[in-house]
Amino acid sequence: MDPATLLDHALFQLTPTRTRCDLVIYTGNVSEKLASGLLEPFVSHLKCAKDQISEGGYSITLRPVGSHASWFTKATLLRFVRFVSTPELLERFVTIEREIDQIESSVQSNELSNTLEAEAAGGNFQKSSASFKNGESNGTDDATQEENFKVRLQRVLESRKAVLRKEQAMAYARALAAGFELDCMDLISFSDAFGASRLRCIKDTDNDYVLKYTVLWLKARVLVL
C-alpha cells in the first residue's frame, strides 16, 4: 500500500489477553498490517482507544469523523507508530528549545539592566568624582563586585545556551533518523481527531503549534548542516 493512500479506518486487533495488538489499516477491500506490539503504549497515547477498551471487546477502531480527512493516510499512521516507539525524541527537542528561550530572556534582561545602570552611572559621574576628591565612600567596591557577578552570569548563560544548541542539533539528527519530518500537519490533525495528547508536545503555548514546530525544526536543521 502506498504511503499516501487515503484510509477508510485503522483497527487495533487485540489478543485474548488484551495485552498485545496488531495495527491493521484498511482502504476499500485492501488491508495491511502496519505494526504489532504491546497494547499499552498505543492506549496511553490515544484517548479514543482508552474509551473503547473500557467498554470491553477485542478491537479498537480509528475512524475520523467526516469524509474529508485527507490527512488520514498510511504515512500518518506510520508517523504515529514512530512517535509511540520514541516519544522522547520530539519531547526532548521542544524541552531544549524552551530552556533556550528562558536563557535568552534572562540574557536580554541582564543586558537591559546593564544598559540602564551604565546610563545612570554616566549621569552621576561628576558627582562621584567630587566625592572621591573629598575622601567620601561611594560604594565603588560593591558596584564593581556586582558588575563582575553579572559578567560571570552572562558567560554562564551563554555557555549553557551553546551546550543546549548542540544537544538540540543531536536531537534533530536522532529524530530525522527515526523518520520524523518537517511537515507535521498530519500529526496535528491525528492528535485532534483521536485525542493523542502527547503529540501536543509540539504545540506552542499560543496554540500556533504548526508554526512553532516548523521554526524549531528548521532552526535545528541549520545547526546540523
pLDDT digit string, tens, across residues 104-130: 888 887 766 666 555 555 555 455 555
Return the pLDDT at 209.
42
Burial of 91 (0-12, 13-18, 19+ CB in 10 A): middle
Answer whether 164's CB lies under 8 Å from 103's CB: yes
Comparing C-alpha atoms, which of 200, 7, 13, 215 is closest to residue 101?
Answer: 215
With cut-offs at 50, 70 and 90, classify the pLDDT of residue 144. low
28-57 pLDDT tens trace = 999 999 999 999 988 888 989 999 988 888
What residues are paired with 156 via a beta bridge?
none
Does 213 have pLDDT greater than 80? no
- Are 80 and 25 in contact by the 8 Å Cβ rule? The answer is no
168: how many CB neighbours lie within 10 A of its CB?
Answer: 23
200: left (phi over 0), alpha (psi -120 to 50) or beta: alpha
**pLDDT value at 199 more than 90:** no
- CA 210 from centre of chain: 11
Give the confidence band of 203 by pLDDT, cuts at 50, 70, 90.
very low
Please tell me whether residue 197 adopts helix, strand or coil conformation: helix
